[in-house]
Structure 1
Amino acid sequence: MPELILKNISKHITLTSEEEVYFLALLKPKQVSKKDFILKEGQVCKEINFVESGTLRAFYLDKMGKESTIMFAVAEWWVTDMFCFVNEQAAMLNIEAIEDSRMLQLQKEDLDQLYIKVPKFERFFRIIMQNAYIREQLRVIQELSLSAEERYHNFLIKYPKVAQQVKQKQIASYLGITPEFLSMIRGNKTKKKIIS
């Protein structure tokens, strides 16, 4: 489905047909089943992934085995362990398919060549990374200033597709709360709807 990735790119840059052909030739399709990993902590992170279909989750596992979800990725989103991808280091994150998923992978060395041969891709990926940085900065500020209930409400507004596709415990780990506390918040929201 090259149309989907080309549509994603056209939001920020315009490619000639020759540039499209060159770019598409660099992509490697990958299909994974639910619960498969496309990256595990400790592996060298060599690719950035464009999600064509399905849902993935990037998470960090602490020494006690507690999972903290860093991000979700649904169709038309990009996902990788960015720090490790850029620096070609061992991954700090795990990236797991929450459901059967299809993606297009772009290797780091191919991305570097792409920047040289089609410089406008530097603009594209700069915008993608800026947006990711802004999203994470806002998330940290919300973490510091909003209640768990407000953060959950914002999550539902900002990521309605994700909220429908992932488990409650994964949303809780993204919000930094326990699944039990999230269940209580959801129960309170239902009661408020019934009362009003």
Structure 2
Amino acid sequence: MVGVFNKHFLPLVSKIKTLYSQINKNISRYVSFDQQELEIFNSLLEFKTVPKKTMLLQEGEMCNFEAFVVKGCVRKYYIDDNGFEVILQFAIENAWVSDISFSIYENKPSRVFIETLEDCEFFMFSPESKEELFSNAPQFERAFRILMQRSLAVTQDRLFNTISKTATEKYLEFLEHYPALSQRVAQHYIASYLGISAEFLSKIRTKIAKL
């Protein structure tokens, strides 16, 4: 009986350790933490599995989470004045996704949607848990500040590219930065992210294929 229990329990323990190791490695890229600090962090995380095509957040709702993508792919988007979806972010493994700048920090209803495009696994982190973390392990405040700064830098760089680069240049840069996404995400989603029509993206892809 004990052997049967261990057969099923030990692989689960191993998977959980691997999952925590994944997010711990991510958060430790810019700040070093001791084991006690990481254990405090881990104790405040909530692990969730979410099927594809699930809305994690809808426009008008309050965002009450920051999500670390353990596995899967997510899109964050808004609907413009003409009724078109405009994708702001794709989040895949080891990326964070939320509506931090507006809904969480400004305490206002969200203006974006967040949807899973694949079956996903997340570590979810609430604002209350974040405050508790900062109180008990202050080093994490610096780590999350750096994550926010890097996110803002990516947003600024994307805005610059939108203004200064051609559609072909933007698509080639997308392939360079996110090579796996072109096989995981529908082309009309990529077109939305690049700010062009799906038809125009198809022409770009055909042109590149002939080079």
Deviation at 1:43, TM superposition (A): 1.0
Q: Which residue of 2 aligns with 1:17?
A: 35
Residue 3 of structure 1, aligned match among 11, 18, 21: 21
1:63-82 map, 5 Å:
63-82=81-100
1:44 aligns with 2:62: yes
- 1:93-146 CA-to-partner distances (Å, cap 9, x unmatched) read 100001000100000111112112211111111111111111111111111111
Question: How many residues are matched?
Answer: 192
User: Is the CA contact 1:48–1:85 (under 8 Å) kept in the aligned structure 2?
Assistant: no
Q: Which residue of 2 aligns with 1:115?
A: 134
Over 3 Å off, 4+ runs:
none
Give the conservation status (yes or no) of the 8 Å contact 1:46–1:88. Answer: no
Which letter does structure 2 place at the counterpart of 1:40?
A: Q
Aligned pairs for 1:146-161 within 5 A: 146-161=165-180
CA distance in 2, matches of 1:70, 1:85: 17
Q: Secondary structure of 1:160's partner?
A: coil
- Aligned match for 1:175, one of 191, 194, 197: 194
C-alpha separation in 1, matches of 2:165 and 2:82: 27
Q: Equivalent residue of 2:118, what SS? A: coil
**Contact 1:51-1:78 within 8 A present in 2 as well:** yes
Q: For 1:78 and 1:163, how far apart are their aligned partners in 2?
A: 20
Unaligned runs of 5+ in 1: none
* Structure-1 residue corresponding to 2:112: 93
What is the TM-score normalised by the length of structure 2?
Answer: 0.88
- Report the identity percentage: 38
Distance in 1 of aligned mates of 2:107 and 2:73: 25
Q: CA deviation at 1:62?
A: 2.3
Distance in 2 (CA, whole Å) between partners of 1:58 and 1:21 is: 30
| 1:145 matched residue in structure 2 | 164
Counterpart contact for 2:40–2:137, Cα < 8 Å: no
TM-score (norm 1): 0.94
Query: How far is 1:64 from its partner?
Result: 3.4
Q: How far did residue 77 of structure 1 move?
A: 0.4
Q: Aligned partners of 1:185, 1:29: CA distance in 2, in Å?
A: 40
Equivalents in 2 of 1:125, 1:112: separation in Å?
Answer: 12
Task: Indicate conservation of the 8 Å contact 2:167/2:196, yes or no.
Answer: yes
